[in-house]
C-alpha cells in the first residue's frame, strides 16, 4: 500500500509539472511587438546595471522582431557608445532620428558619438539642433560651447556657456568653462567669480581651484593665487604643472628659494618637463647660483632645442660665469623669435659671427 501511495503522489506531481510547462509555453507566446517591448525593457535593465554586452543582445532581438522600434535604436546606440563602438552608434542614432525626427535626445547622442569620432563640425551641428529644439537642455549648450572653445571662438563659447547656466543654474562645469573663456577674453575678475561659483557648486572640482589661481595671478592678486595653489596642492600632490605654477607665483613674489623648491618638485615628478627646468634656471639666476642656472637651462634646451627662453637664461648665466658662449646663446634666442636676445647681445658688445 505504501508503494502505491508513493507512486500516485509521483503521478500527481508529474501531471502538475506537465500542466505548468503548458502554461509557460502559452505565456511566452506573445505577439512580436509585445515580445520586442519585453526584450527592450530587459535591455534597459541590463544597461542600467552596466551589463552593456547583454543589453546589446536584447536590443538586437527587439529590433529583429520590430524594425520600426525607435526607442530600441536609440538605446542600442547609447549602449554602443558606452562600448566605444561609435560608428555603429551613429548609424543607430540616424535610424532613431529617421523614425522619430521630432525628438532631441537622439540628436544629442549622435553629437556625442560624432565628437568621439573626431567629427567636430558635425557634432556641433547636432548640438545646435538640440539647442533649437530644446532650449532648456543645458548639456547641448555646454558641449557646443566646449567645441567652440577648442577652436578658439571664445566669444561664441562664452555665449553658449551663458545659455547653459541660464538653463541650469547649478551646472558647475558650465561655470568653470565659462570662466576659462573669460580668461581667454582677458576678463580675469569675471573668470575668478565663475571659478568660485563652480567650486561652491562642486567643491571637489580641483581644476577650478588651479585655474582660479592662474586667473588671480593675471588679476594682480598674488596672495589669492598662492592661497589657491596651496589649497590645491594640499589635496593633490602628484601634479607637476601645479608645482610649476606655484613656483612661478613665488618667483613673482620674489620668493626665489620657494620657487626653486616648487620647480624641483615638478622635476621630481616629471624630469622631462622642460618648462620646469628653465624656470628653475631663472630662479637660480636670481639667487646668483650661476653654475646651477646654466646646467638647468642646458637641460631645458636638451629637452626642447627650440626653447628660446632657455637659451636666453643660459646666456645670462654664462655671461656671469665669463663664458664667451653667452653671445651665441643670446643670438640663438633672437633667431628663435625672442627679441630680447638681440638686445642683450648688443648691450654686451657681442660682435656678429
The residues, ordered by sequence, that sit 6+ positions from 117 with a Cβ below 8 Å of its Cβ are: 86, 87, 90
Q: Quick check: is 195 in a domain?
A: no
Tens of pLDDT, residue by residue over 102-117, are 989 999 999 999 999 9
Q: What is the mean pLDDT of residues 168-183?
A: 98
DSSP, res 104? S
- Give the domain-ending residue among 81, 111, 134: 134
Mean pLDDT of 306-321: 96
Position of cell 577652436?
151
Percentage of the chain exceeding pLDDT 70: 91
Last residue of a domain, one of 107, 134, 161: 134
What is the C-alpha end-to-end distance of the chain, expressed in Å?
123
pLDDT of residue 27: 46
Q: What is the pLDDT of residue 5?
A: 24
Q: How many domains does the chain have?
A: 2
Domain holding 42: CATH number?
1.25.40.10
- pLDDT tens digits, residue range 11-54? 222 233 333 344 444 445 678 889 999 999 999 999 999 999 99
Cβ atoms 174, 165 nearer than 8 A: yes
In a domain, 305, yes or no: yes
Q: Is residue 64 part of a domain?
A: yes
Question: Is the pLDDT score of 147 beyond 70?
Answer: yes
C-alpha cell at 63: 529590433
* 222-256 pLDDT tens trace: 999 999 999 999 999 999 999 999 999 999 999 99
d(CA 353, CA 341): 15
Q: How many residues does the chain have?
A: 353
CA distances (Å), 320 to each of 69, 232, 279, 307, 341, in order?
A: 78, 37, 18, 21, 16
- Residue 341 included in any domain: yes
In a domain, 1, yes or no: no
| Mean pLDDT, range 189-202, rounded to an integer | 98
Domain final residue pick, 66, 99, 134: 134
pLDDT in tens, 61-89: 999 999 999 999 999 999 999 999 999 99
Write out the three cell numbers for 59. Answer: 536590443
| pLDDT for the residue 13 | 28
Does residue 210 lie within any of the structural domains? Answer: no
Q: Is residue 65 part of a domain?
A: yes
Compute the mean pLDDT over every residue in the chain, rounded to the nearest whole number: 91
- Please determine, for residue 353, whether its predicted confidence score (pLDDT) is greater than 80: no
**Could you tell me the residue range of the domain that residue 339 belongs to?**
270-353
Give domain status of residue 100, yes or no.
yes
Amino acid at each position: 500500500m505504501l508503494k502505491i501511495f508513493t507512486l500516485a503522489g509521483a503521478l500527481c506531481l508529474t501531471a502538475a509539472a506537465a500542466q505548468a510547462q503548458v502554461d509557460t509555453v502559452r505565456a511566452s507566446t506573445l505577439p512580436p511587438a509585445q515580445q520586442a517591448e519585453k526584450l527592450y525593457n530587459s535591455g534597459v535593465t541590463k544597461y542600467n546595471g552596466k551589463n552593456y554586452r547583454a543589453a546589446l543582445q536584447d536590443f538586437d532581438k527587439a529590433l529583429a522582431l520590430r524594425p520600426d522600434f525607435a526607442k530600441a535604436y536609440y538605446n542600442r546606440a547609447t549602449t554602443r557608445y558606452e562600448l566605444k563602438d561609435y560608428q555603429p552608434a551613429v548609424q543607430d542614432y540616424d535610424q532613431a532620428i529617421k523614425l522619430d525626427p521630432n525628438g532631441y535626445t537622439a540628436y544629442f547622442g549622435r553629437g556625442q558619438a560624432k565628437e568621439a569620432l573626431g567629427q567636430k563640425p558635425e557634432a556641433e551641428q547636432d548640438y545646435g539642433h538640440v539647442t533649437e529644439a530644446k532650449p532648456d537642455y543645458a548639456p547641448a549648450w555646454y558641449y557646443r560651447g566646449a567645441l567652440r572653445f577648442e577652436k578658439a571662438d571664445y566669444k561664441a563659447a562664452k555665449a553658449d556657456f551663458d545659455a547653459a547656466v541660464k538653463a541650469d543654474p547649478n551646472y558647475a562645469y558650465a561655470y568653470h568653462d565659462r570662466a576659462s573663456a573669460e580668461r581667454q577674453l582677458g576678463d580675469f575678475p569675471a573668470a575668478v567669480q565663475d571659478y568660485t561659483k563652480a567650486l561652491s557648486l562642486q567643491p571637489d572640482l580641483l581644476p577650478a581651484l588651479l585655474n582660479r589661481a592662474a586667473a588671480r595671478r593675471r588679476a594682480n592678486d598674488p596672495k589669492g593665487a598662492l592661497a589657491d595653489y596651496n589649497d590645491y596642492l594640499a589635496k593633490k600632490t602628484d601634479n607637476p604643472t601645479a608645482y610649476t605654477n606655484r613656483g612661478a607665483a613665488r618667483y613673482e613674489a620674489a620668493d626665489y628659494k620657494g620657487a626653486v623648491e616648487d620647480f624641483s618638485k615638478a622635476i621630481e615628478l616629471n624630469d622631462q618637463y622642460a618648462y620646469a627646468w628653465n624656470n628653475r634656471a631663472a630662479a637660480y639666476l636670481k639667487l646668483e647660483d650661476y653654475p646651477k642656472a646654466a646646467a638647468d637651462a642646458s637641460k631645458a634646451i636638451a629637452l626642447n632645442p627650440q626653447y628660446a627662453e632657455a637659451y636666453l637664461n643660459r646666456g645670462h648665466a654664462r655671461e656671469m660665469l665669463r663664458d664667451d658662449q653667452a653671445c651665441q646663446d643670446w643670438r640663438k634666442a633672437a633667431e628663435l623669435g625672442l627679441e630680447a636676445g638681440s638686445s642683450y647681445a648688443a648691450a654686451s658688445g657681442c660682435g656678429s659671427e
